[in-house]
Structure 1
Amino acid sequence: MNKVFAGLVFIGVPVSVAGSLLHWSSVLMFVIYCLTIISLAAFMGRATESLAVVSGPRIGGLLNATFGNAVELIISIFALKAGLIGVVLASLTGSVLGNLLLVAGLSFFIGGVKYKRQKFNVFDARHNSGLLMFAVIVAFVIPEIFSMEMNESKTMTLSIGISIILIALYLCALFFKLVTHRGVYQQNENAKAHEEEEAEWSKGKAILILLLSTVAVAYVSERLVHTFEEVGRTFGWSELFIGVIIVAIVGNAAEHASAIIMAFKNKMDVAVEIAVGSTLQVAMFVAPVLVLVSLFFQTNMPLVFTIPELVAMVSAVLVTIVISNDGETNWFEGATLLAAYVIMGIGFYLL
């Protein structure tokens, strides 16, 4: 399987460049770009697994989420520059839903089919639950409610203030998990398994592959964005559906593949860290950074989502917290998350 993905990478990247320069059919290029991104995501998954063995599941999952979200951040900045505020907010919504429901759901389901019960660090799960509640339910809902009584200038000022607070708290959360309380809440069985395992690649090689793969994914993803309009017309997809579902899935392909691979190998600490950690990074870092970056463009982006987007994100957070807070999972809980994602996907499609 690794040879197949390697072949797709070495063929897909040059073909993607050639196709974009020669202006091939948008629908054909859409398929080529997606296959190339999936194969690149497989490399990122192997690199993440090596980093998780060398550096631990927290750092491995964090690095994977960071490199993966870098792709989405790049795509969103291009969209902001073009004034596509609605698409950017929709893609952020899609990232939250995709990570919490689709990625976690697939990881729990596929891992649960192979293993009756899968355990992960319950202390990390509870810590992440609090941050999810704050980031999505507090920081995203308040701008929407308060903006009803404010003009655009005050709404933007509120968004800037909340964005700065979110970034500061996210950095504090990283400092808490990786410095002051690193290893304090580590479960013994996970630590023992970690010590006995041998990494496929060295730390330097894994980081280099992650970096190169991210650059390639960023290029291919940026080209993929230009095919959405034609593909949307061909398949009857709305701009909202493309932003919430398609852009989010493609932009987070690396995390999707990596988390599922980790769950299949019963490395649930890494899988959960990728899915939930990526959500927290989107909500507490990527979204606030985009608000601040938009100040340099003609059209500013307030941190104000639509009511359907907010309801969907809050629902996803609550369902994920209820399912994951016990530190155990199985295939049925994964199926529940996937069912919630499909229901929301149908809703956004019909909108």
Structure 2
Amino acid sequence: MKIFKYLLIFVPVSWGTYFLRGNSLGTFITSALAIVPLAFIISRKTDRLRSYLGSSWGGLINVTFGNATELIISLYAIIDRLLNVVKANITGSIVMNLLLVLGLSFFTGGLKHRKQTFDKVLAIANGTMLMLAVIGMLIPAIFYFASPNIKTLVLGKLSLGVGAVLFVTYMASLYYTLVIHENEKKESHRQIKKSPGRGSVMREAFILFLVTSLVAVEANILVGSITIIQKKFNISPVFIGVIILPIISNVAENLTAITMARENKIDLSINIAIGSSIQVALFLVPLLIFISHLINHPMNVLFNLLEVSSIGLSVLAINIVYLQGESNWFEGLQLCAAYLIIAIAFYFA
């Protein structure tokens, strides 16, 4: 889309604003606008690789590079000890993908095609993975609030243990999705893939590396300006993390999912939205926990009641729709409505 090309001007503008004015409202706005077109380029390049690798591998690459922006933002927030922003960002990413992105995908796809069907076997597997993510976040919260005198050291060890379990399970899910389930699909219909040249793949990889590096720079500027936004507008850091940051970091990936649904490629939309949520919960969270302990800024898996409830109810809502194996525009509208209710709650939190 041409609008994203025009937004690239904010990359040098954000640098200039940062060096001239430091952390300010203008710095926050320009760096946020700069991340949007960079995320769009990442989405486009991974989309091209998808044509070579198929929907499963392509979907994994798409969500991985899509979540790279989120990972970078979270790492800078951990370094700045904004752990509440990190947890809120994780919550917002999961809830946004499950309710808003998938809801808009079902809605736009349903308006054009009335009813869309998707892989029910994979839906059951993904639904189970999402419930595991809820358990991984809910049990530490119950453990902590049931034992108010628990020591921080014990909570840290619990977080490392839970993170390890989630990480191993995510690796197993990749094996099931990309190897076992993919082979089953090949038996039912032959999958044709383009054969990319070595030069093409290297060029795409180099561009992805370069753009991801630019995102890292912009993320550093963005995170440094968060405290200014909190003080100037009296906005909760939780609301910034749950609503604003996920929309900024995932805008291109989200547009891709909605566009694919409009083109009746609903399985690909689901791979992006659900796959991104699963990767954030089962891979990104453990990775951030491990890294935070290594740099001596330990983060735990203790999410507050509103965050855990939002994730749990989002998973429950999506499973009711998702496990049917088909969707329509009205179900998409209901998911979007649920997201708006959660967003309003976090605004006043």
TM-score, structure 2 as length reference: 0.89
The Cα shift of 1:96 comes to 1.0
Alpha carbons of structure 1 residues 196 and 51: separation in structure 2 relative to 1, 3 Å: closer
> Any conservation in 2 of the 1:140–1:303 contact (CA below 8 Å)?
yes
Which residue of the partner structure matches residue 242 of structure 2?
A: 244
Partner Cα separation in structure 2 for residue 303 and residue 103 of structure 1: 25
Deviation at 1:125, TM superposition (A): 1.2
Aligned position for 2:153: 153
State the alpha-carbon separation in 1 of the partners of residues 237 and 60 from structure 2. Answer: 31
Matched, 1:332 2:294: no
Aligned equivalent of 2:12: 14
Q: Is the 8 A contact 2:97 2:273 kept in 1?
A: yes
C-alpha distance after superposition, 1:16-59 (max 9, x if no partner): 22222222783334333333333233323332332222211111
Distance 1:96 1:41 in 2: 18
Q: Does the aligned pair in 2 maintain the 1:27–1:231 contact within 8 Å?
A: yes
Deviation at 1:307, TM superposition (A): 0.8
> Matched residues in 2 for 1:51 and 1:307: separation?
40
Match of 1:144 among 128, 137, 141: 141
Name 2:230's counterpart in structure 1.
232
Conservation of the 8 A alpha-carbon contact between 1:53 and 1:197: yes
User: 1:228 and 1:216 mapped to 2: Cα distance?
Assistant: 19
Which ranges of structure 1 fall in alignment gaps of 5 or more residues? none
Shift of 1:218: 2.8
Asked if structure 1 preserves the Cα contact closer than 8 Å seen for 2:17 and 2:26, the reply is: no
Equivalent residues in 2 for 1:36-47 (5 A)?
36-47=34-45
Superposed, 1:66-85 pairs within 5 Å as 66-85=64-83
Q: Which amino acid aligns with 1:5?
A: F
In structure 1, C-alpha distance between the alignment counterparts of 2:201 and 2:267, rounded to whole Å: 19
Counterpart position of 1:308: 306
Q: Which residue of 1 aligns with 2:172?
A: 172
Matches for 1:162-311 after TM superposition, within 5 Å: 162-185=162-185, 195=192, 203-311=201-309
Give 1:186 deviation, angstroms: 6.3
CA contact (8 A) 1:221 1:251 kept: no
Alpha-carbon distance in 2 for matches of 1:175, 1:92: 24
SS at match of 1:183: helix
Cα 1:30–1:278 shift into 2, 3 Å? same
Report the Cα distance in structure 1 between the residues aligned to 2:215 and 2:270, rounded to whole angstroms.
23
Contact 1:121 1:186 in 2 (8 A): no
Contact 1:41 1:257 in 2 (8 A): no
2:75 and 2:153 map into 1 onto residues whose CA distance is 22
Q: Check 1:140–1:255 CA distance in 2 against 1; reply closer, same or farther (3 A cut).
A: same
Number of residue pairs the alignment of both structures matches: 344
Distance in structure 2 (CA, Å) of the matches to 1:348 and 1:222: 24
Instruction: Name the CA distance, whole Å, in 2 between partners of 1:316 and 1:72.
Output: 20
Q: Distance in 1 between matches of 2:183 and 2:247?
A: 33
Q: Distance in 2 between matches of 1:347 and 1:21?
A: 36
Distance (whole Å) between structure 2 residues aligned to residue 323 and residue 338 of structure 1: 13
**8 Å CA contact retained: 2:76, 2:219:** no
Amino acid at match of 2:269: A
Deviation at 1:311?
0.6
Distance 2:187 2:117 in 1: 10
Q: Give the CA deviation at 1:205.
A: 4.5
Could you tell me how far 1:141 is from its partner in structure 2? 0.9
Distance 1:326 1:202, change over 3 A: farther
2:54 and 2:193 in contact (8 A); partners too: no
Task: Check 1:266–1:204 CA distance in 2 against 1; reply closer, same or farther (3 A cut).
Answer: farther
Q: Match of 1:345?
A: 343
Matched residues in 1 for 2:236 and 2:175: separation?
Answer: 41
Q: Is the 8 A contact 2:163 2:286 kept in 1?
A: yes
The partner residue of 2:60 within 52, 59, 62 is: 62
Mind listing any 5+ residue stretches in structure 2 that lack a counterpart? none
Matched AA of 2:283:
F
What is the alpha-carbon distance in structure 2 between the residues aligned to residue 237 and residue 185 of structure 1?
A: 48
Give the Å deviation of 1:234.
Answer: 4.0
Q: Distance in 2 between matches of 1:206 and 1:302?
A: 36
Distance 2:231 2:89 in 1: 19
The corresponding residue for 1:90 is 88
State the percentage of identical aligned residues. 39
Quote the Cα distance in structure 1 between the aligned partners of 2:331 and 2:92. 21
Provide the C-alpha distance between the structure 2 equivalents of 1:316 and 1:20, rounded to a whole number of angstroms: 37
**Compared with structure 1, are the counterparts of its residues 54 and 346 closer, same or farther at alpha carbon in structure 2 (3 Å cutoff)?**
same
User: 1:106 is matched by which residue type in structure 2?
Assistant: L
Q: Read off the aligned partner of 2:141 and give its amino acid letter.
A: E
**Which letter maps to 1:153?**
L
3-state SS, counterpart of residue 182 of structure 1: helix
